[in-house]
């Protein structure tokens, strides 16, 4: 069975180490939307060792911090669903009170037209911020 997170990067690579990678998702409605993806094909968090879980979540928290610093959202949504892609990954999603779906989840019914816009160069600043918060 094919797995899109094993077969593809899942977005633009911002950072990686031996166990996980951080990618920027190409979503015009949610600029700054990142995924933290475990490199091995594992379905559940409890299949990881305690040290691996801690490392994975510290990576998620570093990405959340970088997103808050650079794109300054009103809220961050963290989600780990895996129903369609049973491969450990976390969604780190910047949310704004004026975004297309707020206050609903981004996978819900749209509440308004897209109104997202960020300052020029935000992607480079986000990449640098993520890298500065994670080990080299």
Reading the block at residue 76, the tokens are 């961050």
The three state secondary structure string of 26-64 is CCCCCCCCEEEEECCCCCCHHHCCHHHHHHHHHHHHHHH
Each residue's pLDDT expressed in tens, for the chain with a length of 136 residues: 689 999 999 999 999 999 999 999 998 889 999 999 999 999 999 999 999 999 999 999 999 999 999 999 999 999 999 888 889 999 999 999 989 999 999 988 899 987 767 888 999 999 999 999 998 7
**Model's pTM, two decimal places?**
0.93
Q: Are 72 and 47 in contact (CB under 8 A)?
A: no
Separation of alpha carbons 87 and 69, rounded Å:
28
* CATH class of the region 4-106+113-133: alpha beta
Q: Are 85 and 114 in contact (CB under 8 A)?
A: no
Domain ranges of the chain: 4-106+113-133
Separation of alpha carbons 30 and 92, rounded Å:
10
């Amino acid at each position: 069975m094919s797995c899109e997170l094993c077969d593809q990067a899942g977005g633009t690579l911002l950072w990686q180490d031996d166990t996980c990678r951080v990618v920027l998702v190409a979503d015009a409605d949610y600029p700054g939307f990142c995924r933290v993806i475990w490199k091995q094909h594992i379905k559940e968090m409890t299949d990881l060792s305690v040290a691996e879980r801690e490392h994975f979540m510290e990576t998620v928290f570093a990405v959340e911090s970088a997103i808050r610093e650079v794109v300054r959202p009103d809220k961050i949504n963290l989600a780990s669903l895996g129903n369609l892609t049973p491969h450990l990954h976390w969604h780190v999603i910047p949310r704004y009170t004026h975004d297309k779906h707020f206050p609903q989840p981004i996978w819900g019914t749209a509440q308004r037209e897209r109104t997202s816009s960020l300052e020029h160069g935000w992607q480079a600043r986000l990449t640098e911020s993520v890298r500065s918060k994670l080990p080299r």
